């Protein structure tokens, strides 16, 4: 894919992420599922269906159209389901979202997305303060500043937001390597000959996750204020 076309798809991808999250939070049922701290297994399944089905459509469009790469938010959604809903939600989301890709012959897509959702869910359990999840920022410089401020009065080694950021980057690198060494096993936008575009691909992945979390958090704050 040409670098210019990749950049266009990345911009559209951010718009799709914002549109999907903004549309979902219009539903009262989805908001009830989204902002629960504890969920039954059935509620986790409902959350996965609410979030995963629109993304499945996007993956299907990407496969059918063969040029609409921006519609594939499967990796980002698996991470979001894991970090918001926990390990079960992340794993189930990875299975659901990976179905179209698996049927298309991308055999590594489903296992990779299940792994991503599970690891994100594991990170959720490690968060000492669940508000850290909702305040995640796609801008790593802000996370570093928060890390320094928190460690000045009371030093600590683990900062959840920085850890989540590097987990996203690490898993995205794994996706790149899968696409490189096992061609056709997983979908991934790549531009190895242009490092600026290559960096933009990684930045767009983090930004898409950050945008959706910011949209959800703004609604969460609004609900708390109304209470």
* Distances 210 to 36, 55, 166 between C-alpha atoms, Å: 20, 17, 13
* Confidence (pLDDT) at 51: 92
Q: Is residue 124 within 8 Å of 82, Cβ to Cβ?
A: yes
d(Cα 8, Cα 114) in Å, to the nearest integer?
A: 28
Q: Where does 134-177 show beta strands of DSSP type E?
A: none
Mean local confidence (pLDDT), 52-71: 86
d(Cα 221, Cα 226) in Å, to the nearest integer?
A: 9
Q: pLDDT (tens digit, 9 = 90+) per residue, 67-111?
A: 678 889 999 999 999 999 999 999 999 999 999 999 999 999 999
* Confidence (pLDDT) at 129: 81
CA of residue 199 relative to chain centroid, distance: 17
pLDDT at 24 over 60: yes
Q: What is the pTM of this model?
A: 0.89
d(Cα 129, Cα 133) in Å, to the nearest integer?
A: 8
Mean local confidence (pLDDT), 21-48: 90
The domain limits of the chain are: 3-226
Mean local confidence (pLDDT), 135-151: 61
Q: What is the mean pLDDT of the chain?
A: 87
41: pLDDT confidence band, cut at 50, 70 and 90?
A: very high
d(Cα 20, Cα 115) in Å, to the nearest integer?
A: 23
* Distances 31 to 25, 49, 81, 212 between C-alpha atoms, Å: 6, 13, 14, 13
Provide the 3-class DSSP secondary structure of residue 26: coil
* Confidence (pLDDT) at 106: 94
d(Cα 55, Cα 217) in Å, to the nearest integer?
A: 20
* Confidence (pLDDT) at 157: 53
pLDDT at 226 over 90: no
143: pLDDT confidence band, cut at 50, 70 and 90?
A: low
Residue with tokens 């969920």: 39
149: pLDDT confidence band, cut at 50, 70 and 90?
A: low
Mean local confidence (pLDDT), 135-153: 60
d(Cα 40, Cα 25) in Å, to the nearest integer?
A: 20
* Confidence (pLDDT) at 90: 95
* Confidence (pLDDT) at 167: 94
CA of residue 53 relative to chain centroid, distance: 15
Query: 116: burial class by Cβ within 10 Å (0-12, 13-18, 19+)?
Result: buried
* Confidence (pLDDT) at 131: 82
d(Cα 212, Cα 44) in Å, to the nearest integer?
A: 18
Q: pLDDT (tens digit, 9 = 90+) per residue, 154-203?
A: 555 567 888 899 999 999 999 999 999 998 899 998 887 788 898 999 99
* Confidence (pLDDT) at 156: 54
């Amino acid at each position: 894919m040409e670098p210019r076309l990749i950049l266009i798809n990345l911009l559209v991808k951010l718009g799709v992420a914002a549109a999907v999250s903004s549309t979902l939070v219009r539903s009262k049922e989805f908001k009830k599922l989204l902002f629960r701290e504890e969920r039954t297994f059935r509620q986790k399944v409902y959350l996965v269906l609410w979030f995963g089905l629109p993304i499945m459509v996007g993956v299907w469009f990407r496969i059918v159209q063969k040029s609409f790469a921006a519609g594939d938010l499967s990796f980002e959604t698996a991470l979001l389901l894991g970090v918001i809903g926990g390990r079960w939600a992340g794993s189930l989301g990875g299975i659901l979202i990976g179905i179209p890709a698996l049927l298309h012959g991308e055999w590594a897509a489903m296992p990779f997305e299940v792994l991503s959702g599970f690891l994100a869910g594991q990170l959720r359990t490690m968060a000492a303060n669940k508000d850290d999840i909702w305040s995640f920022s796609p801008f790593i410089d802000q996370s570093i500043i928060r890390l320094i401020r928190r460690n000045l009065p009371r030093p600590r080694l683990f900062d959840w937001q920085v850890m989540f950021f590097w987990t996203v980057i690490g898993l995205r690198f794994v996706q790149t390597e899968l696409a490189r060494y096992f061609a056709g096993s997983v979908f991934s936008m790549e531009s190895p000959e242009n490092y600026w575009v290559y960096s933009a691909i990684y930045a767009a992945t983090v930004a898409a996750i950050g945008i959706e979390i910011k949209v959800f958090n703004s609604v969460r704050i609004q609900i708390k204020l109304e209470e």
